[in-house]
Amino acid sequence: MSGHSKWKNIMHKKEKTDAQRAKVFTKIGKEIAIAVKEGGSDPSINSKLRDLIMKAKSNNVPNDNIDRVIKKAAGGEGVNYDVIFYEGYGPLGVAIIVETTTDNRNRTGADMRHYFDKYGGNLGTTGCVSFMFADKGVIVIESEDINEDKFMEDALESGAVDFAKEDEVFEVFTDPTELDDVKKVLTDKGYSFLSAEVEKIPSTYVRIDDEESITKMNRLLEMLEDNDDVQNVWHNWENDEER
């Protein structure tokens, strides 16, 4: 799971400046608005909304902000967003998938192409790298004060397909269609989560050894993550610094 720990992504976002934190709030707000329009404003019925509320709180989004977005979307207000995936290659053939939510396809497409071209990559066509990734449900829970053996047993009994200890958290992997079921069983057992989402996990990884390419790859990821239209970035770069 090198370079793909959700926990590290969360911590990275928490450590950002106020301006960057506001971008995180905006991105999660888009996801919540889409979830409300697709499945309604009641989190007890809309599991996707429930997960996003949890995600928002783990990123310190104020409750007032969350409620405001939900009410606005439920009332039919706000912008309508399209979810678009972009695929391409970074330096030395690193495979990258970018998930965006946008109200302007032309703007977002132009931004993606510019970033890839500028930092030694190239934007490809749909399907050019997605075959290298598999969708998996990923549940993240803080490991403090939790017995690892007991939790692993509970996770596997709940239907999880894999389990890992990553720094200060446990990561539980599920079939993407069974994420909600596994999460419900673990919730009933008294566990609470930092995040629970479907992730794109690479089947193979690419190493980058020269400093120039590492710098370009880092800069490309920074530009993608700082773009307001970008919701998620998945890649198969084996980055030792993130291990």
* Tens-digit pLDDT profile for residues 207-240: 999 999 999 999 999 999 889 999 999 999 987 5
**Residues 133/201, Cβ–Cβ less than 8 Å:** yes
pLDDT band, very low/low/confident/very high, at 151 (cuts 50, 70, 90):
very high
Task: Identify which of 236, 234, 214 has the alpha carbon closest to the alpha carbon of residue 225.
Answer: 234
Token pair 């692993």: residue: 152
How large a percentage of the chain has pLDDT more than 90? 63
pLDDT band, very low/low/confident/very high, at 131 (cuts 50, 70, 90):
very high
Within 10 angstroms of residue 45's Cβ, the number of other Cβ atoms is 10
Q: Distance of CA 169 to CAs 175, 184, 232, Å?
A: 20, 19, 21
**Residues 146/116, Cβ–Cβ less than 8 Å:** no
Token pair 């075959």: residue: 131
More confident residue, 80 or 129: 129
**Structure confidence at residue 10 (pLDDT):** 43
In CATH, 133-202 is 3.20.20.140: no
Q: What is the dihedral of CA 73, 224, 6, 183, to 10 degrees?
A: 30
Provide the CATH topology of domain 82-131+204-236: Alpha-Beta Plaits (3.30.70)
Instruction: State the span(s) of the chain assigned CATH 1.10.10.200.
Output: 6-74
* Residues 5-51: tens digit of each pLDDT: 444 444 444 445 566 677 888 888 999 999 999 999 999 999 889 88
**Structure confidence at residue 193 (pLDDT):** 84
Average model confidence (pLDDT) across the chain: 87
* Architecture label for domain 6-74: Orthogonal Bundle (1.10)
Running DSSP on this structure, what letter comes out for residue 205? Answer: -
Instruction: State the span(s) of the chain assigned CATH 3.30.70.980.
Output: 82-131+204-236, 133-202
